[in-house]
Amino acid sequence: MRLRIKALGIGLASLTLSTAAAAADPTYRAELTRTAYGAPHVIADSYGGLGYGAGYAAAQDNFCDFAERTLTVSGERSRYLGAGEHDANIVSDLYHQRLIQTGRLEARLAGDAPGAFKPSADARALARGFIAGVNRYVRDTGAANLPDARCRGAAWVRTYTETDYWRSTIAGQQPTLMAGVATAAPPGVADVVAPRGPIERSRVPEGQDGSNAYALGREVTKSGHGVLLGNPHYPWDGINRFTRMHLIIPGKLNVVGAGLQNSPTLGIGHNQWMAWTHTVSTARRFGLFELTLDPKDPTAYVFEGRSVPMTKTTITLQVKTAGGLAPLTRTFYDTRFGPLVETPTSPWTAERAFAVRDAPVGLRAVDQYLTMYQARNVRQLAAALSRFQAAGFNTTAVDAGGEAFYGDIGPLPYVTDAKAEACSASDLARKSWKDLRIPVLDGSRAACDWDSDPKAATAGIYPASALPQIFRNDYASNSNDSYWLTNPKQPLAGFGRIFGEEATARSLRTRLSLKQIEDRVAGSDGLGAARFDLASVQAVLFRNRNLGAEMTRDPLVALCRSAAAGPQPDLAEACDALAAWDLRVNLDSRGAHIFRLFAEKGGLAFKVPFDPADPVNTPNTLDVNDPKVLAALVDSVKQLRALKIPMNATLGQVQTEPRAGGERIPIHGGPGPEGIFNVITPVNLVPELGWTKIRHGSSWIMAVEFTDRGPISQGVLTYSQSTNPDSPHAGDQTRLYSQKGWDDLNFTEAAVRKAAVSTMVLKGR
C-alpha cells in the first residue's frame, strides 16, 4: 500500500532557531520518497532543496550518529560523555579543538586559504539545505522523543549550523596520527592524558578497510556497453557507514548510489552515462619531518641554520567528572610543516622531534563530486578528478560507451624517491621509507620540503598528469593492491614508491579478482555465456570462491590424513570436513571455518615463489614440508574443539550478525587474506556460536549495466539503512544480503514514483 504524507509547515519545534536566522535562510522544498528497504529518493528543484530532503532523510535514519559525529568534531565529547576509556574522548577533543583554534575552516569558507577552493554556490546551498533538513527533523520530532535511545533527550542534541557540516567534512579527511598529535609534549612536560595503551600515541593506517572494483568495458561485456561492480569493504559500525541516497533535480541532475553518513553527497554511484566506485589506495597521503631542535630550547627547531620557535596553541577542555566539570589544559606545538607528533618509535627528545604534514584537501571535495555527477563519460570524470584532486581513494569507472578507467588521482605528496632517500637524515627515517613507504624528511633544510608544480590543484602535491591512471576498452580493476596490476595486459609502472609497490606479489584477493574476470570472459566459470552483464557480475561476487582453498585444500587434506593416521588422530574429523568442503564461503558451506583459522594462524605457506612474469598465478603450491603448515591446522582443530564448534558446521551457523531481539542473521563471505573476493571480516569468536559480529567487509554493493535503454542498477547495503535498533530498516537489507538478494535502485523518476512506499513533501526554512 502506498502511503502519501504531505507536510506543509515546519512542525512543532522543541529546538528553535532565532527568528532573525530563520528569516535570513532561504525557503526549501523537497519531495522525499522511500522505496523498499527504506531507500530514500530526494526530488527537488535546487541544490538547497536536495540538501534539505537529504538532511531530513539522514536524520530519520541515523540522527544519533549525526549528532555524535558533530559532538566529536566540535571537540566536546569529554564535556558531555566524560574522559572515555583510556582518555579516548579527551584525545579526540584535543585534536579537534586544535583544528578549530587554527581558524582554517573559516579562512577556507572565505576563500582566503591557498588551494582550499572556496565552495561554490551550489556546494554551499547543498550544505545549508542538509543542515536545515536535519534541524527540521529535530524540531518535528523533539529531542525528548527521538526514536533512538542512544541520544533521546541527550544534553548534546542541539540545533546545527552550516559550519558544523563543513567542520565534519574537513575533520574526516586526514585524521592522520590523531592521538600522536593530541599527546605530543616537550621532554620533561608531564602527559595530561593517557599516552599509550589501546589508544596509542600514533597509528599508521593499517589498511583494514578495503574494496573491490570492476569497470568492465565494451570488449568484455555482452552488450558492448559498460558494466560496473562497486564493492567497498568498510566498517559495519561507526562513522564510516554508508547510507543509500538518490538525488534528482529534474532535467539537471540524477545520481543514485550511496555515501558516507552525515553528508548529502554520494561517494559511489551512477548517473545516466557513467558509473564509478572507489577503493582504498596504497598511496601515502601524508609524511613526517624530522626536526633538529635548538639545544637551548626543545620547542624551537633549526631551519636553514637558524633557530625557529614553534607556534604554541593552548586549549582548555571542560571534562565531565563525578564532581562536575573539571578543566584540562593542553598546549600544542606547530611548525612550518605541521603539528608536532609523537609515536612509540619517534619520541620528542631534547635533540629531535617530528612534525606531520597531510596532503591538503580543504573544501574541494563537495564540488569535485558535484562535477563528477555531471560527467557524461569517464574522460570527463577523470578531468573532474584532475581539476580538484580531492579524492582520498582510487577511482574506478566505466561509461555507457564501454570505456573503463582507473586512477589514483588525489592529493599525493610530491616526494620523489630521490628526495626521500637524500633527505632521510636518520636510521628511523630510512627504515620508515624502506618498510612503510612513509617519507620522513630532514626538516632542517628547505630543499627537503615537498616539491610543488603549478599544474597541481594546490602546493606540495603531484600534478594529476603524473599520477597512476589508465583507460581501457576491456577492463580496469582494483582490490587494494597498488595500481601496478590494474590490468595485467598493461601494467602501470615507473611511479614513485610513495604511490605503491610495483612488480611485487599481489594479494590472494587481487589474484582471485583477476582470475574471475579471465574466467568470465572465457565463459569457463559455469555462469553461462561468456562476458559480463548485470546478472553475471552479481553472480561472480556472490559465488563466494576461496582462492587460497582452491590452491591448497587437496594437499592440505593429504597432509591432514597422513598426520591423523599417525601422531595426530584428533585431526580425522577435520580432514573429512575439509575434503567434503565445496571450497566456497556460502551459508551452507561446511568446513570453511576450519580453513579460516588455519589461514589466520599462518598455514598458507607456498613453495613456489612470486614470479613478476606470472603475477596472477604465483606464489603457489602449499609447502607441506614447512612445519608451520601442519602446526596451524593442529592449532585450529584444538581451538574449535575447545570452543565446542563442530568440524562440519556450516558457515551460516558460525558466522552471524546480531540484531534486536536476539536475532542472529547468518552471513556469507569471509576474510580477504584467504583469497575471498566477497570480504567479510568477523569478530567475537565465542564458544558454540562461532563469530557473532561482523567488523567490516562488503558494505554498499552496487552493480550497474548500461544498455540501449539506459542504465539498470541494483544494490544492497549489507548492514541496512538505519542504525536505530528499533527501526524496521535496521536489519532488512542485512537479511537480503544473507539471502544473496538485490534491490532495484529505481534510477528514473518514473521508477521511483512507481516503487514508492511513502512520499513526504517537505517545505520550510
Give 37-52 pLDDT, tens digit per residue: 999 999 999 999 999 9
Q: Are 341 and 177 in contact (CB under 8 A)?
A: yes
What is the rounded distance in angstroms from the CA atom of residue 57 to the CA atom of residue 43? 12
pLDDT band, very low/low/confident/very high, at 205 (cuts 50, 70, 90): very low
Give the pLDDT confidence score for residue 197 in this predicted structure.
36
| Three-state DSSP string of 23-39 | HHCCCEEEEEEECHHHC
For the stretch 595-631, pLDDT in tens is 999 999 999 999 999 999 999 999 999 999 999 999 9
Give the pLDDT confidence score for residue 198 in this predicted structure.
33
Asked if the model's pLDDT at residue 194 lies above 60, the reply is no
> Angle 315-287-440 (CA atoms, 0-180°, nearest 5)?
110
The letter for the amino acid at 707 is T
Q: Are 16 and 30 in contact (CB under 8 A)?
A: no
pLDDT band, very low/low/confident/very high, at 192 (cuts 50, 70, 90): low
For the stretch 697-730, pLDDT in tens is 999 999 999 999 999 999 999 999 999 999 999 9
Calculate helix-pair angle for 88-102, 162-171, nearest 10 degrees: 110
Asked if the model's pLDDT at residue 9 lies above 50, the reply is no
Give the pLDDT confidence score for residue 177 in this predicted structure.
78
Give the pLDDT confidence score for residue 26 in this predicted structure.
60
| Assigned superfamily of 3-183 | Penicillin Amidohydrolase, domain 1 (1.10.439.10)
Give the pLDDT confidence score for residue 170 in this predicted structure.
85
Give the pLDDT confidence score for residue 11 in this predicted structure.
31
Burial of residue 55 (CB within 10 Å: 0-12, 13-18, 19+) is buried
What is the rounded distance in angstroms from the CA atom of residue 665 to the CA atom of residue 721? 16
pLDDT band, very low/low/confident/very high, at 207 (cuts 50, 70, 90): very low
Whole-angstrom CA distances from 522 to 33, 325, 378, 516, 696 are 42, 67, 26, 10, 32
Looking at per-residue pLDDT, the higher value among 752 and 176 belongs to 752
Looking at per-residue pLDDT, the higher value among 741 and 208 belongs to 741
Cis peptide leading into residue 309 (ω within 30°): no
What is the rounded distance in angstroms from the CA atom of residue 723 to the CA atom of residue 61? 7
Asked if the model's pLDDT at residue 25 lies above 90, the reply is no
Looking at per-residue pLDDT, the higher value among 190 and 142 belongs to 142
Give the pLDDT confidence score for residue 671 in this predicted structure.
98
Out of 211, 482, 589, 713, the active site residue is 211
pLDDT band, very low/low/confident/very high, at 193 (cuts 50, 70, 90): low
What is the rounded distance in angstroms from the CA atom of residue 709 to the CA atom of residue 521? 24
For the stretch 422-472, pLDDT in tens is 999 999 999 999 999 999 999 999 999 999 999 999 999 999 999 999 999
Fold designation for 286-358+416-448: Penicillin G acylase, beta-roll domain (2.30.120)
pLDDT band, very low/low/confident/very high, at 208 (cuts 50, 70, 90): low
What is the rounded distance in angstroms from the CA atom of residue 456 to the CA atom of residue 461? 6
Give the pLDDT confidence score for residue 507 in this predicted structure.
98
Asked if the model's pLDDT at residue 679 lies above 60, the reply is yes
Q: Are 602 and 633 in contact (CB under 8 A)?
A: no
For the beta carbon of residue 362, count every other beta carbon within 10 angstroms: 24
Asked if the model's pLDDT at residue 10 lies above 50, the reply is no
Kindly provide the residue ranges of all beta strands, DSSP E only, lying in 295-364, ordered along the sequence: 297-303, 306-309, 311-321, 324-334, 340-341, 352-358
Give the pLDDT confidence score for residue 172 in this predicted structure.
61
Mean pLDDT of all residues in 69-77: 97
Reply yes or no on whether 211 is catalytic.
Answer: yes
For the chain, the average pLDDT equals 93
Asked if the model's pLDDT at residue 590 lies above 70, the reply is yes
C-alpha cell read off for 622 = 602449499
Considering only the top CATH level, what class is 547-648?
mainly alpha
For the stretch 241-282, pLDDT in tens is 999 999 999 999 999 999 999 999 999 999 999 999 999 999
Give the pLDDT confidence score for residue 244 in this predicted structure.
98
pLDDT band, very low/low/confident/very high, at 575 (cuts 50, 70, 90): very high
Mean pLDDT of all residues in 676-694: 98
For the stretch 303-342, pLDDT in tens is 999 999 999 999 999 999 999 999 999 999 999 999 999 9
For the stretch 81-137, pLDDT in tens is 999 999 999 999 999 999 999 998 998 899 877 777 899 999 999 999 999 999 999
Mean pLDDT of all residues in 19-47: 83
C-alpha cell read off for 430 = 630510512
Handedness of CA 19, 25, 29, 35 (dihedral sign): negative
Mean pLDDT of all residues in 570-590: 98
What is the rounded distance in angstroms from the CA atom of residue 290 to the CA atom of residue 301? 10
For the stretch 383-393, pLDDT in tens is 999 999 999 99
Give per-residue burial for 732-763: e unless 16+ CB within 10 Å, then b. Answer: bbbbbbbebebbebbbebeebbebbeebbbbb
Name the least confident of 107-121, 145-159, 286-300, 523-537. 107-121
DSSP element (H, E) containing 462:
none
Beta-bridge mates of residue 229:
214, 703
What is the rounded distance in angstroms from the CA atom of residue 643 to the CA atom of residue 635? 12
Strands 758-764 and 3-7: parallel
What is the rounded distance in angstroms from the CA atom of residue 562 to the CA atom of residue 568? 9
Asked if the model's pLDDT at residue 358 lies above 80, the reply is yes
Q: How many CA atoms lie within 13 A of 417 on its CB side?
A: 8
**Which sequence spans correspond to the domains of the chain?**
3-183, 286-358+416-448, 547-648
Mean pLDDT of all residues in 495-521: 98
Whole-angstrom CA distances from 18 to 61, 159, 165, 749 are 26, 10, 19, 36
Burial of residue 631 (CB within 10 Å: 0-12, 13-18, 19+) is middle
> Angle 612-615-621 (CA atoms, 0-180°, nearest 5)?
105
Asked if the model's pLDDT at residue 22 lies above 50, the reply is no
Please give the order of strands across the beta sheet that includes 242-249.
3-7, 758-764, 28-34, 40-43, 242-249, 253-260, 268-270, 274-279, 394-399, 404-407, 469-472
Asked if the model's pLDDT at residue 203 lies above 80, the reply is no
